[in-house]
A and B are shown apart, each in its own frame.
Chain A
Amino acid sequence: MSRTSTELRPRSLGRFRRALSTVVVSLVVLCGVFFTLGYLQGPKLSSAQVDVKAVIDQPGQQLRLFANQPVAQLKAAQVVVTPGAAHTVTTKGDLIAVQFAGRLEYGTRYQVRIDGVTSIYQAQPSTISYTFTTASPDLYYLHRGQPNDDIMRTTLGATGGTVVYSAPHIQDFVRSEGALAVATLADDKTSSLALVSLTDGAVEQVKLPEAGVVQKLGASPTGTMIGFTFTSAGDSITPAYSSTLMFLDLQGARVVAPVTGLDGKPLRVLAWQMMPEGTGLLALSRERSLFLIDPLTAGAVTPLGQFNDLGLVSRDGTVVTVNDPFGTAVLTIADGTQVRIAASPVDNSGSPTYLGVAELVPTGGRVEKVVIAQPGGKRFSSVLAFDDGTTSTVLYRTPNDAGSIESFSISPNGQYVAIDTVPDTSAAVSDGYFYDARFVGTETVFVEIASGKVVKSLDGFSLNW
């Protein structure tokens, strides 16, 4: 038997109303609870952005932390970066931007902790923490073998490497943004120059002005400019090109052209260095005049003085080491001022120390190739040392001091130095290349500058960071 709707209504409608009231009250209470909890917990990290490759390649990169609400201004002291790295902090809305002054260390786990973060509307503080691991850079080096020579790619943590390009008689190579420039030597002792794409391995031959020899290849790893010296083939007394500095802009028409000096004529050089950023270069002419030149801008030639030799440009492109008859100096490129440098005593031994090539470390101090007298003073050893301006610490010496340090290059972030070394010169045999010959068994050793610890070695040379 069914009841009529009139009979049903009083009781059932009451149930609906009670349920409605209960739901409303419950929701009000729950809203209050969660609003209060949210109010008391302070700002929280919603997301973060950091380019783990860019932070090791470029200074001034940012870690962008997004809070769940607009945050009040922060001071740099509230931000703790572990391991330590110079930084600044800015806030805008819900964004906290931690900007690193320099490049960060390779393959390192960083923790960024920010204490006392408050909303712009409430004083309830909270701590925001974020960790990330930086990338390890790709390293390129030349391994000479039979029948082909190989350009290899590896990383600091890798045990092996992969072949990027293989060809007979590779003289030298350099890495620019997205491509390798590779000089190879033919049987007639002339060079050819090829561009190898790092993305798809495509090879493009570069047309040289005439048959000749390519040497002293150089490029900026982050730029598109490649430079080299070119000497005409043959025995002419008046060759068209003789150690003439040439350049090739990969973004332009890809035509090889000479770099011109103050007189507008092609420049013949003893040495040259590409500036780390942009399209500028430093060239030491045969007349021993040093110029800062931008090959892409007509007339952009700035004389910097007379020097015997050109050392290495600092990673920030502000200074370069130079040699003149009075010794070694650090030359500020912008204003031409010089600061004389001399090698500090190694390990406070008091033994005479003789300075060779020096390069400034981005994080402070210098890495120097120095010659030191061994106890007794009858023998001398060539070592690589870190000089903080007061004292030098040996970073690397060949086993039993039997070998030689050929050259070295500091990683862009100043964390490591890669050393071209021949372990034992008494047993070393040349590979017989007519140009750019090297000893068989030349290897590259990686040393951490801060600790002096050898972290890696590989069979090859011409390391490109």
Chain B
Amino acid sequence: MSTRAPDRARVDNPQHPGHDHDERPRLPASRWVWMIVGILALAGLLAVRGLADGAGFSLPNQLQDLLTLSISVVIESLPFVILGILLSIIVQVWLPEGLLMRWLPRNPVLRRLCISCFGIFLPVCECGNVPLARGLIVKGFTVAESMTFLLAAPIINPITIVTTHQAFGFDNGILVARIIGGLAIANIVGWLFSLHPQQDSLLTPRFAAECRRPADHEHEQSRWSKSVDLFVRETSVITPALFIGALVAGGIQVLVPRQVLVTLGSNPVWSILAMMVLAFVIAVCSNVDAFFILPFASSFMPGSIATFLVFGPIIDIKMLAILRTTFTTRVLVQLTVIVALLSALIGAVVNFVV
């Protein structure tokens, strides 16, 4: 009873100890091709945008908006994705085996609580935390523990806390609600998914397969070689998802005018829901979202602002696209429902108390 299987369970490795080199090919040519295609696509988008300004011809307004919004999401997120991948490489390749595990409490609740505080030391927004969370799973964390880190880190990372404080100070308890709310959501979700008996079934088959690969698989490789391998692999998985998410976020913002949500959100009853929809659609990075929402603070209730600030960093279009590289659709639906309800509750409590 003391070592309840679901919580302590690592990703199942039914194939182990057999080495299956075909399961995780080194660097398939298709990955290089896709990476080059992605870079060219981004360069193409930027070139079209630049040419439209410089050469005098103009794109249709909606297309311009789509390009601007999508590129802005990509540019805003890409540095953090790269940083997250680098941190993931450090965790997977460079940290001594078992270092993180050794220092964490054995009690599952305390353990998740500690993991949810990892973000304090990592100035990475939500997109960058996905590769890092993937790295933690590969390194032996349970899916639930990794999820706990993933949900809390973008909210309690130092840049997010500083920018939120600069935007709101301690007014209306928004900063406090964001930090406490973020930790609470992460730990509740972590607890809930720790009850799942099949942790690996929460993952996509492809990523689960990567996780099943034994640690001594690449014993012939040097650490640098492993790092390059991991960087290329993670980049080729995460960046297409980022581009698709950014494109969808830009598209929805073009199709659904922001003013519609703002008008809806002025009603105290609907403001929390409207803020969640707004956060979902605009997909702004958690490091700067406080400044984005600051102009709305005078017309929205504090609770709806708090909801925006806890919901947005966890669930938005771009994040769902990136998370889909790791988790199954069913898990993402469950995650979205729980996080949405918890965010709404935090907003309602703030509105009542403040």
Contact = CB atoms under 8 A, between A and B. Distances in A.
Contacts of A41: 352
A68 B354 contact: yes
B23 interface: no
Contacts of B348: 30-31, 34-35, 38
B299 interface: yes
Nearest to B169: A47
Interface stretch (A18-26, A197-205, A212-220, A341-349): A18-26
Given A8-B5, A24-B338, A38-B352, A94 B298 contact: yes
Interface string A9-22: 10011011001100
Interface in A41-78: 41, 44, 46-47, 66, 68-70
B341 interface: yes
Given A19-B195, A34-B352, A93-B299, A39 B171 contact: no
B342 A5 contact: no
Interface SS of chain B: helix
B205 interface: no
A47 B6 CA distance: 47
B340 to A, nearest CB: 9
Contacts of A70: 266, 299
Interface SS of chain A: helix
A192 to B, nearest CB: 50
Interface in B1-37: 5-6, 12
Interface string B330-354: 0000100110011011001101101
B197 A27 contact: no
A8 B354 contact: no
B215 interface: no
B269 A68 contact: no
B338 A38 contact: no
A1 interface: no
A5 B301 contact: no
B172 interface: yes
A93 B352 CA distance: 19
Contacts of A13: 196-198
A9 B269 contact: no
Interface residues of B, number: 33
Contacts of B171: 46-47
B192 A39 contact: no
Contacts of A23: 188, 192, 338
Contacts of A95: 298
A47 B266 contact: no
Interface string A180-208: 00000000000000000000000000000
A119 interface: yes
Nearest to B14: A5
B267 interface: yes
A28 interface: yes
Contacts of B344: 27, 31
B336 to A, nearest CB: 12
B250 interface: no
Contact of A27 (B196, B267, B342): B342
B172 A47 contact: yes
B170 to A, nearest CB: 11
Interface string B107-139: 000000000000000000000000000000000
Contacts of A30: 345, 348
A69 B347 CA distance: 13
Nearest to B338: A23
A16 B5 contact: no
A37 interface: yes
Interface centre among B5, B193, B267, B268, by most chain A C-beta atoms within 10 angstroms, is B268
A247 to B, nearest CB: 45
A61 to B, nearest CB: 21
Contacts of B195: 12, 15-16, 19
A121 interface: yes
Contacts of B268: 38-39, 69, 119, 121-122
A24 B337 CA distance: 8
A72 B60 CA distance: 41
A9 B351 CA distance: 42
Contacts of A46: 171-172, 302, 354
B267 A121 contact: yes
A37 B349 CA distance: 9
Interface of B: 5-6, 12, 171-172, 188, 192-193, 195-198, 266-269, 298-299, 301-303, 334, 337-338, 341-342, 344-345, 348-349, 351-352, 354
Given A38-B268, A39-B268, 16 more contacts: A12-B195, A12-B196, A16-B197, A28-B341, A31-B344, A31-B345, A34-B348, A34-B349, A38-B348, A39-B269, A47-B172, A68-B301, A69-B301, A70-B299, A94-B299, A95-B298
List 10 tightest A-B contacts by C-beta distance, closest first.
A12-B197, A34-B348, A27-B341, A16-B195, A38-B351, A38-B352, A16-B196, A69-B301, A121-B267, A69-B268
